[in-house]
Chain A
Amino acid sequence: MLRSGFLFRGSSYGRGKIKVRGFDWKVIQNNLPFLLQGLLTTFQLAAIAIGGGLLLGTVLAVARLSSRRFIYAAVTLLIHLLRSLPLILVIFWFYFFMPILIGRPLNDFLSASIAFIIFEAAHFAEIIRAGIQSISKGQMLASLSTGLSYPQSMLYVVIPQALRNMIPSLLTQSVVIFQDTSLAFVIGVKEFLRSANIVDAREVRSLELYSFVGIVYFIFCFSMSRITKRWEKKKRSKV
């Protein structure tokens, strides 16, 4: 388990005397397979978080719009609680909670995935709720009057339209999730940042490694946000 800062501190300034100057990209070249493995884990985690979060988020959003008071209150409370917690705490929480629940320790990747799905579901739910509410009531009434049941009309009529409206905000949130996966670091998931950290502990090349990690994250997130912007513009010009 993590024993925070003290463990990682070994890296650069602590050993101040043997300061190595200048960039040396060899360290990245040599450790590229290992780093890429980490990047792959990051992508997996992000995909799981986005996919699972979207599914669960949709369920939560529909539940929040439920007319049954009890469901509404419970789900609203849950969403508000999750949204007011830092992700790092949610990750820890599941890390400690899951073993109690299932009686044996869970592997850290799985535990992080569950935490991510639930945390991101709460965030997605709010976006999706806003999207559903942006669809006019008439759509719902019309589909109900054609004889579809409430779940059917939700699933086949309202949600598909709502999804289309929400794509920009969903993409933005996905970028945030992609960035957030770096937090899986704290329970020892070997994602991108952790693998850089491990290499750093061996090679003492913080500058190159963390710059590399930063640049890779930047490239992915920046291009994603560009795509989002273009999408938004396209949609706006269509309307």
Chain B
Amino acid sequence: MIDGILTTIKLGILCWSFALFIGVIIGTLRYSPWKLARFFAAGYTEFFRNIPLLVQLFFWYFAAPSVLPERMVKLIYHDTLNVEFWVVVIGLSIYTSSRVAEQIRAGIGSISREQFDAALSTGLTPLQMYRFVIVPLSIRIMMPPLTTEFLTTFKNTSLAMTVGVLETTFMSQQIEAYTFHGLEATTGASLVYITITMIIMLIMTNVEKRLSVPGFIIRQR
């Protein structure tokens, strides 16, 4: 059981960091001056957001090996220890990243036009503008929805059981299989998730408080 909880936490944090990284990039691409990049980013978000996570996991687990090149398959699916774990990391990261990207897009959209103009007129390049002005500002606006996403990621790690990752939900079902105490095992697993959720909530509320810019009010565009 403890192993399962650890795996859940590991999965959650890994996926979240990947998803945040990809999501930020894709989300900002939505506002890039190049049409192709915008199109790609929009396609990416819409595509991965509109397919159920479980289907995506199954795709990566069952279907992907037959399309990827032979050597990659050997490297990823045959030579890696606990493939399932990494498959879920890939699948969940991509899925979450598309949702994060959507939040980022909304966050950037909520920043007033003048911020962009002001940043550019001080002589920053567009890249610098994003790096030093837009992203730091919008991250703060997006903190609450991103926290929700983070929690969702943790809850979504429970789907990893379907491809056989030994995480909390899987463990609880194993216990059920051996002891027939399904209700107790499931309740136990529920408690684990509730505890994790609460801990994250506490931490994030703290982080939000510390990050908030005094006097910074979200303006309507």
* Residue positions of A touching B, CB distance < 8 A: 1-6, 8-9, 11-13, 16, 19-21, 81, 84-89, 92-93, 95-97, 100, 175, 179-180, 182-183, 185-186, 193, 197, 200, 206-207, 209-211, 213-214, 217-218, 221-222, 225
Mind listing 23 A-B residue pairs with CB under 8 Å?
A4-B164, A5-B162, A5-B163, A5-B164, A11-B62, A13-B78, A20-B66, A84-B155, A85-B193, A86-B169, A87-B155, A88-B158, A92-B173, A92-B186, A179-B51, A180-B52, A182-B52, A193-B54, A210-B63, A214-B51, A214-B59, A218-B50, A222-B46
Determine chain A's interface SS by DSSP, over half rule.
helix
B190 and A89: CB pair below 8 A? yes
Contact present for A12 and B66 (CB under 8 Å): yes
- Which residues of B are found within 8 Å of A86, using beta-carbon distances? 155-159, 169, 193
Q: Once the chains bind, are A2 and B173 in contact (CB under 8 Å)? A: yes
| Residues of chain B lying within 8 A (CB to CB) of residue A217 | 50-52, 55
- B187 CB–A CB distance under 8 Å: yes
Total interface residues in chain B, CB < 8 Å: 49
Judged by a CB distance under 8 angstroms, whether B58 is at the interface is yes
Q: Is B146 an interface residue (CB 8 A)?
A: no
Is the Cβ of B163 less than 8 Å from the Cβ of A84?
no
Is B161 an interface residue when CB atoms closer than 8 A count as contact? yes
Given A81-B194, A93-B183, A207-B67, do A88 and B169 touch, yes or no (CB 8 Å)? Answer: yes
Chain B contact residues, CB within 8 Å of chain A? 46-47, 49-56, 58-59, 62-67, 73, 77-78, 84, 151, 155-159, 161-165, 169-170, 172-173, 176-177, 182-183, 186-187, 189-190, 193-194, 197-198
The answer to whether B173 touches A211 (Cβ under 8 A) is no
Given contacts A12-B62, A86-B169, A182-B54, contact A96 B193 (CB under 8 A): no
Nearest opposing residue in chain A for B196, CB measure: A84
Contacts of B78 in A (CB 8 A): 13, 16
Taking a contact as CB atoms under 8 Å apart, the answer to whether A210 and B58 are in contact is yes
Given A89-B193, A93-B187: A13 and B52 interface contact (C-beta under 8 Å):
no
B66-A207 in contact (CB<8A)? yes
Q: Tell whether, in the assembled complex, residue A84 and residue B172 are in contact, meaning their CB atoms are under 8 Å apart.
A: no
Main secondary structure of the interface of B (DSSP, over half): helix
Distance of A146 from chain B, by nearest CB (Å): 35
Decide if A183 touches B159 in the complex (CB within 8 Å): yes
A180 to B64, CA, bound (A): 22
- Asked if A210 meets B62 with Cβ closer than 8 Å, knowing A88-B161, A182-B55, A218-B50, the reply is yes
* Complex: A218 Cα to B55 Cα, angstroms: 11
Q: If A84-B193, A89-B169 touch, does A179 touch B59 (CB 8 Å cutoff)?
A: no
Extra contacts besides A4-B164, A5-B162 (14): CB < 8 Å: A1-B176, A3-B177, A13-B73, A85-B194, A88-B169, A92-B182, A93-B186, A193-B52, A193-B58, A197-B58, A200-B62, A210-B55, A210-B58, A225-B50
Output the nearest chain B residue to A217 by Cβ-Cβ distance. B51
Q: Are B65 and A13 in touch, CB under 8 angstroms?
A: yes
Compute how far the CA of A3 lies from the CA of B64 in the bound complex, rounded to whole angstroms.
23
Q: How far is the CA of A100 from the CA of B65 in the complex (A)?
A: 42
CB-based contact A214/B55 at 8 Å = yes
Chain A residues, Cβ within 8 Å of B198: 84
Per CB-CB distance, the 8 closest pairs between chain A and chain B, nearest first, are A5-B164, A96-B182, A206-B62, A221-B50, A86-B155, A86-B158, A84-B197, A179-B52
- Output the least CB separation between A107 and chain B (Å): 17
Q: Are A89 and B65 in contact (CB under 8 A)?
A: no
Q: Are B63 and A186 in contact (CB under 8 A)?
A: no
